[in-house]
Amino acid sequence: MSFMEKLKEKIRSEGRVIGTGILKVDSFLNQQIDPQFTLEMGRELASRFTGEKITKVLTVEASGIAVATAAGLALGVPVVFAKKGRASTQDAGAYSARVYSFTRREAVDIFVSGRFLGPEDAVLIVDDFLAHGEALRGLVEIVRQAGSRLAGAGIVIEKVFQGGREKLKGQGLRIESLAAIKHMTDGHIEFL
């Protein structure tokens, strides 16, 4: 069984669909982490970007950090994560973007210190979900502010029906998803 099929099976068996837009995979990805499976996810995402000479993996706190770390391990590069909200210790030269969280129903500013991303970097963005595309759009904006080269985005689960990929299509962003969901209803998940 391929890794993608294993992931789909794990989503079907452990995921819970709420309504038509929310998929809870907190038993292995968002709250409780299955470390071995997370390493496999990171390796699979990293393998899709071999040859890109990636120097940094970028994600946003909090649930993207585990998979981004696994991808960073596979690539042998540091992982940088955007913090939600400005910390009192934040550098004056931080990059920032405003993103709307549909899960939390609020807009937040995300920040990355200018010390950790620069023009010499080739960045792979890694995140747990791509839904409406807000977090990914904000991370792309931060990479551009830093003058870094954007290698692409590796996503664990994409909810295609929520249009995030389409919103980012015009930016020429390469997006690789491990599991792409076409449609969800209570108790049913249809993958592409």
Over the chain (192 residues), the average pLDDT of each successive run of 10 is 90 88 88 93 96 96 92 98 74 83 80 94 97 94 96 96 88 92 87 90
Tell me which amino acid residue 112 is.
V
Structurally, the chain folds into a number of domains equal to: 1
Looking at residue 141, which CATH number applies to its domain? 3.40.50.2020
The answer to whether position 23 is within a domain reads: no
The answer to whether position 4 is within a domain reads: no
The answer to whether position 90 is within a domain reads: yes
Q: Exposure pattern of 157-172 as b/e (b: 16+ CB <10 Å)?
A: bbbbbbebbeebeeee
Q: Tell me which residue range forms the domain holding 103.
A: 36-181
The answer to whether position 2 is within a domain reads: no
What are residue 95's phi and psi, to 5 degrees? -90, 145
The answer to whether position 77 is within a domain reads: yes
The answer to whether position 31 is within a domain reads: no
- Nearest residue to 180 via CA among 56, 162, 87, 172: 162
Given this model, what pLDDT does residue 92 score?
67
The answer to whether position 28 is within a domain reads: no
The answer to whether position 19 is within a domain reads: no
Count of Cβ atoms closer than 10 Å to residue 48 Cβ = 15
Given this model, what pLDDT does residue 53 score?
96
